[in-house]
Chain A
Amino acid sequence: MFSPPDEHPVDRAVREYLEREAARVDAPTLLARMRANRPAAVNVGALTRRAWLRGAALGTGGALAAGAALYFVLGGTGPVEPKMLSATELIREAKNAHETEKLDRCYDVSADWDATPFQRRFPFRPIAKKAKLWTRGDQFFVESTFADGLPVKWGQEKSGRVWILPKPDRVLVYEPDDLAEPLARFCEMMSLRLVSTLAGMLETYDLKQETAGPDEPIRIAAELRGNPNSSLPRISKVAIELDPKTKIVRKAVLTRTINGDTLGSIEFTLLETAAPDKIKYDYPAHAAAKHLVIDGPRPPLLPPAQRFDPRHDPRAKFRDDWLKTWQNRSAPKT
């Protein structure tokens, strides 16, 4: 890459950083994905990749599917048989249903982790095999218990703020911009944001719908596009079951992989729907009446480089103790 002799030191550092990032890009895979979506004639106008996909779907789906797709593109709202909709449209409807409905839903959460790749990759063991999740949109809270029955809760408020109750009278609060590792990874692994998950399915997964009757649950399997051997812990597969009328998620199974190894799968099964405004996602509704809030470093603001330094974060010790306690109490008895 071009490197002028009078290059500013910051520019040089940025350039070297970008060069290292470029070396990690898998260009042949990117090209293969583009080839797979490339139309027969490229110079047909400024078609985007998604437009090509839509075109391919219309071409192979026949007049019926084309009619249904056009109907939805034009904003139609009348009754359409589920079998006429593509998997993408069904997931879009499910996302809209969860986004717009103001109801709180409770899911039973059951995790089946494979300990070997998990322990090789993460500073914590697979924990929380059973839990109960309340969610509305991307808000949620999770209730679980240690092996000895001690309750544990954490959640995310509407603002994106994450809270943890290591004890009922103590709250660790993380604003959206200060949730750092290892907690970010822990929350990412152990919870479900339905709206985000459905949005992710629309954007970066290949969707396949199982055939079903008009009143049977709609089952859609989603597989992540791109490199399956990524060193990032990805949700590689999602199997989802939708209510045929409301398009609400009845069941979801998320399979997580890292470097091609399966870390485990988490199954979410709809248990109940609560009356409006009964469920609260803000931490005061879950903490003891008298509780101590421990939040991040506040003004005077620290220099950016020190913001995530545990020595300046009063929550770090509590957070680490909490993660450690959870592991110890969740560990299988030998």
Chain B
Amino acid sequence: MVYITRIEHFNAAHKLYNPAWSREQNDEVFGKCANENWHGHNFELHVTIKGTPDADTGFVYDAKKLSVIIREHIINHLDHKNLNLEVDFMKDKLCSIENLVIGIWNKLIQHLPETVQLHKLLLRETPTIYVEYFGT
């Protein structure tokens, strides 16, 4: 079994804000991340798939093809967007990277060939903060 990872990037705006709470409660819990006028990040998405290298190509899966799938179905929908307002799978969800990585997984897995086993997503928000998700 070999794990191969493709890294892609997107730059986006978001805010952490719970509409069920008061402004004060949001400020208390989310601090400056609750700024109603948004802030933003350079996000980095690591997509790890696993499998046995193909006898003819030596590939677990063609990393270029994987990149095209990630860009078409994920990056093009997130890059230079407002994650709270413009991303269908984040609608009515709290826009944390925890929820974002789950949303990305659920969308990406629908577009991967059946032969490709998605192993892990790593989503980096800043040099010092990232999340990992394994699908469960």
Q: Do A and B bind each other?
A: no
